[in-house]
């Protein structure tokens, strides 16, 4: 797996804007391998609620610890950067903030609203934490009207212990996706492969996602971000990713992005547009 070093002027323009507005991106915090490609296309996944996560998931490179107070100017700054870049499909994610009463749901809603006001006709996808299963928090973000509600289950439930997540979090995540879908949202989730899961377990997890009416899916190769994180147990071939995509489509997912470097927000716009077109045709 190879990625090109950044050379496109747009990459450096995006980097300068992020620095100017003191924004955080999962592209940087998560050490995403697609950063050069996406920033060169003038797209970025904005990360709100600061850059320190209250959880300690073993697969993730985001800084963990005790976060500071929310920045009230962050929604407007994200909207301004999106406007300058000419982004018509914005993706917004966050660290997990279990220290906040609403998990940051109101801040998400404010950010979606700010993007819409500043960028007429723009669409927004939000990649949310589980809000500890709070339906009230979920309602808050749904009322802001994002086009897609994305929430990752990350891996098969039998490996939750390996990634330092309580086993019950799996059912909480499925509950979030179910509740969002029942309220009319187009839902999306993502899986990492290569942590030691079996193909059978992957298919069962996909079935669980379909049972809660999740319609969009991303599948990507887990890459060890630092030596402190769990090692890669297996590298999947491009052909294996195609097979997983075929199986997912058979199960009823509307659109699937599956490949070694696929991440939750990678090429999110065309995935949404294809799903929307299919919905419209039906």
Tokens standing for residue 182: 């029942």
pLDDT at 251: 97
Among the residue ranges 41-50, 246-255, 264-273, the one predicted with the least confidence is: 41-50
Q: Name the residue ranges covered by the structural domains of the chain.
A: 1-132, 147-282
% the chain with pLDDT above 70: 84
What confidence tens digit (pLDDT) does each residue in 74-108 have? Answer: 999 899 888 888 788 888 999 999 999 999 999 99
> pTM value?
0.88
In degrees to the nearest 10, what's the CA dihedral of 169, 180, 203, 221? Answer: -70
Fold of 147-282: Transcription Regulator spoIIAA (3.30.750)
pLDDT at 61: 76
Which pLDDT band holds residue 151 (cuts at 50, 70, 90)?
A: very high
Average pLDDT over residues 165-182: 96
Q: Which residue has the higher pLDDT, 274 or 240?
A: 240
Per the DSSP assignment, residues forming a β-bridge with 6 are: none
Place of tokens 């006001």: 117
How buried is 99 (Cβ within 10 angstroms: 0-12 exposed, 13-18 middle, 19+ buried)?
Answer: exposed
Phi first, then psi, for residue 50 (nearest 5°) are 90, -165
Average pLDDT over residues 151-171: 94
Q: Which residue has the higher pLDDT, 191 or 44?
A: 191
pLDDT at 29: 46
């Amino acid at each position: 797996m190879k990625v090109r070093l950044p050379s496109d002027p747009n990459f450096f323009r995006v980097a300068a804007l992020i620095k100017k507005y003191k924004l955080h991106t999962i592209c940087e915090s998560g050490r995403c391998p697609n950063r050069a490609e996406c920033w060169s296309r003038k797209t970025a996944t904005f990360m709100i609620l600061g850059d320190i996560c209250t959880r300690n998931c073993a697969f993730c490179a985001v800084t963990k610890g005790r976060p500071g107070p929310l920045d009230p100017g962050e929604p407007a700054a994200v909207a301004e950067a999106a406007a300058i870049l000419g982004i018509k499909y914005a993706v917004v994610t966050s660290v997990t903030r279990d220290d906040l009463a609403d998990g940051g749901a109101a801040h998400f809603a404010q950010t979606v609203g700010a993007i819409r006001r500043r960028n007429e006709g723009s669409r927004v996808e939000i990649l949310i934490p589980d809000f500890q299963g709070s339906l009230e928090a979920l309602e808050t973000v749904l009322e802001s009207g994002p086009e897609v509600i994305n929430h990752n289950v990350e891996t098969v439930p039998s490996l939750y212990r390996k990634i330092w997540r309580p086993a019950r979090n799996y059912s909480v995540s499925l509950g979030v996706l179910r509740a969002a879908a029942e309220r009319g949202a187009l839902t999306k989730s993502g899986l990492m492969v290569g942590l030691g899961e079996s193909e059978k377990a992957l298919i069962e997890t996909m079935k669980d996602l379909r049972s809660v009416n999740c319609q969009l899916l991303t599948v990507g190769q887990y890459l060890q971000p630092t030596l402190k994180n769990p090692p890669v147990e297996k590298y999947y071939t491009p052909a294996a990713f195609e097979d997983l995509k075929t199986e997912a489509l058979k199960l009823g997912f509307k659109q699937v992005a599956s490949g070694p470097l696929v991440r939750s927000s990678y090429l999110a716009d065309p995935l949404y547009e294809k799903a929307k077109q299919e919905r419209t045709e039906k």
